[in-house]
Structure 1
Amino acid sequence: MDVDAFVLAHRATWDRLEHLVKRRRRLTGDEVDELVDLYQRVSTHLSMVRSASADPVIVGRLSGLVARARSAVTGAHAPLWSEFTRFWTVSFPLVAYQTWRWWLSTAVVFFAVAGLIGVWVAGNPEVQSAIGTPTDIARLVNEDFASYYSENPAGSFALRVWINNSWVAAQCIAFAIVLGIPIPYVLFQNAANLGVTGGLMFNADKGDLFLGLLTPHGLLELTAVFLAAAAGMRLGWSVVAPGDRPRGQVLAERGRAMIPVAVGLAVVLLVSGLIEALVTPSPFPTFVRIAIGVAAEVAFLAYVIHFGRRAVRAGETGDVADAPDVVPTG
């Protein structure tokens, strides 16, 4: 982008918006409509400048102008249903789509670590004896692992699972404040637990039971955790390597993008919790339970790819500060 030419082409629009903002208490009906229209246009200009220019002066001027214009358009919010629709078709899937390399890498490393630990545990009696007594291990593989999913009422179990998984995801998001440094440790703990349990189950020839009970809900559940971890680490990395834009600008944008991640994942984890409480311990054949889990995972990935890619093509940023207001008021 030729920044000087861009500024020259749109300066009159920016000046006009600034003039209307200053006169916001004395606008006519037509001027109110013009104010909202210019606000939306300048918001688009801001997004374009952010993506193509590192000029802090222009970005700062437009950011301040858009913020003042949004404040001037008092009460200019889209209807609740429209905001709800935008969240699920733009905000959340866009951020998930933009971080796909991060959460795919996270998944690969997670399963590699879990697999290595599982093989290590399964092939070493000394390690197994350090984990627990033969009686404790036998109780785990023969009773406790399967009964965990059915010993409590489905409703209370689903709530407990949702709270636990949401807590893991919330930790990953919260640790973004400290550059995401503790996130790999949180993931390692979960990978180690998965690997140890899997190693013990496979060593006892219970691998089919392990996968049959874990897969239905585990695919979607772990994907949500990977996404939370990826978003947190990506935010932390933006401090280290912000690219060709000001570090503060990138950090602010990605920090605000964590809001839809947190809200969206709470719902995704609720779905995985319901699957874990209702499908995993159900009397359905194993292949049916696994098919339900795979279908849920495929549906989520298809949703992220479809709506996320569409939002990228539409020039959306994923920044909640850029969400348009569409109802003109004085």
Structure 2
Amino acid sequence: MDIGIDGRVDTGAAANVGAVQNDTLRSARFRLEREAHWRQLDELVTRAEKGGTAALGYDEVRNLAAGYRQAMNSLSVARDISLDRALIAYLESLCARAYLVVYAPQESLGGLTARLLLQGIPQAVRRSALPLFIGFLALILGAAAGYKLCQNDPSWFYTFVPPELADQRTPDASADYLRSTIYGDEGHDSDRLAAFSAFLFSHNTTIVILIFTLGIFVSVPSFILTFYNGLILGAFFAMFARRGLGYDVFAWLSIHGVTELAAIAIACAGGARLGLAVLLPGARTRKEALRHQAHDAVKLAILAALMLIIAAVIEGFLRQLIQDPFWRIVIGWGMGVFWMSWLLLAGRGSKTSREAAR
């Protein structure tokens, strides 16, 4: 007990000390009665965190679920009777870890990647018919306009194509020089090809990121940028066609262009999904519509990035190593058939199964 300066007992201080001692005893008793269950749960959670629930047996999984419920009940009681904070913090941490083990998706990174490739991306593509139409329309219209304008007046080439991209391949170049850029020995050293492939991937990725991110502005900037890339394509094709190299440049473009140009159009489609959410939100608010459309839009962006990686490898290596125009066309359009088959057919069985389950 405490004695004041006047010699009287400080009953308030004594009561406080007694209350603290009582709370400490109550917490110790509460913990002693339940600590064995908490330790068992902690051990099961730790094992599941390291090896997944597959590492646990049937009885252990059942004990894990029961232990989680008991720990949640203990946490609720501890909060209600205001036990010490250290005990409450311990229970909160244990319950949070157990919740993630019991309720979070138990799937490896490989499983998530496989599900994305086999179901998520193909299904997102099939749900994006209108945005894909917008993306490919922009590219095709741009290519047609660029070809027509440069076919009638070659000076348009200098308007559409930046000098660093033309690299002396201009309407003023001779047919022999243009042919040499298609079939000439551009250097087959592996280091040079790897560097060239990395440059192309970086360049194309920048374009795709711009097209995708600008789509949120009601899709118009994405459409314009995709249209402009089509103008460049049409201008290049017209320049070679005027020199009698139409078939040759078609093969030269096919081997990588089928994949690369499709990636640009798909990135435009991803941006268009965001833009359409802003322009036509429907019954949702614009924020909700953006959140809803973003799921498929991001999958389209991932697809475009994957296609760009493959296009960069093809353009940096195969296009330099394979000189026969026939095989360039076979490889390029064969890749197109692969993309179409994957995106149109993959994931249909899983979707049917889900609908049947409903």
* TM tier relative to shorter chain: 0.5 to 0.7
In the alignment, structure 1 residue 84 sits paired with structure 2 residue 118: no
| Letter of the 1:305 counterpart | L
What's the offset of the Cα at 1:73? 4.6
The structural deviation recorded for 1:175 is: 1.4
**Cα distance in structure 2, aligned partners of 1:128 and 1:84:** 43
Distance change (3 Å), C-alpha of 1:88 and 1:189: same
Read off the aligned partner of 1:297 and give its amino acid letter. G
1:113-163 alpha-carbon deviations (Å, 9 max, x no partner): 31232122112356568789x995233754367538963622111111111
Q: 1:199-218: per-residue Cα shift (whole Å, max 9, x none)? A: 11111212122112001110
Give the Cα–Cα distance (whole angstroms) in 2 for the partners of residues 125 and 96 of structure 1. 38
2:135 counterpart residue number: 106
TM-score between the two structures when normalised by the length of structure 2 = 0.62
Q: 1:195: which partner in 2? A: 234
Aligned residues: 259
Which protein has greater RCO, CA pairs closer than 8 Å, 6+ apart? 1
- Give the superposition deviation at 1:192: 1.3
Amino acid at match of 2:125: A
Q: CA–CA distance in 2 between the matches of 1:219 and 1:109?
A: 15
Secondary structure, counterpart of 1:138 in structure 2 = coil
Distance 1:78 1:145, change over 3 A: farther
| Shift in alpha-carbon separation, 1:77–1:279, aligned structure 2, 3 A | same
Deviation at 1:226, TM superposition (A): 0.7
> What amino acid maps onto 1:168 in structure 2?
I
Match of 2:3 in 1: none
Where does residue 119 of structure 1 map in the other structure? 148
> With structure 1 as the length reference, what TM-score do the two structures score?
0.66
Structure 2 spans left out of the alignment, 5+ residues = 1-40, 46-59, 69-97
| Aligned equivalent of 1:137 | 171
Structure exhibiting the larger radius of gyration computed from Cα positions: 2
Q: Secondary structure at the match of 2:215?
A: helix
Aligned pair 1:151/2:192, yes or no?
Answer: no
Aligned residue runs from structure 1 range 1-330, under 5 A: 30=62, 73=102, 76-124=105-153, 127=156, 136-139=170-173, 142-143=176-177, 147=181, 151=186, 153-310=192-349, 312-313=351-352
Structure 1: runs of 5+ lacking an equivalent? 1-23, 37-68, 317-330
Aligned AA (1:81): G
Secondary structure of the residue aligned to 2:320 is: coil
Please provide the CA RMSD for this pair: 3.6
1:241-268: CA deviations, max 9, x gaps? 1234444333102223333333332221
Residue identity (%) = 19
| CA distance in 2: counterparts of 1:135 and 1:289, whole angstroms | 21
TM-superposition CA deviations, 1:190-234 (whole Å, max 9, x none): 111112111111112121221120011101111111111011111
Deviation at 1:299, TM superposition (A): 0.5
**Counterpart contact for 2:145–2:234, Cα < 8 Å:** yes
Deviation sequence 1:28-82 (CA, Å, 0-9, x none) = 9548659x9xxxxxxxxxxxxxxxxxxxxxxxxxxxxxxxx98685764412221
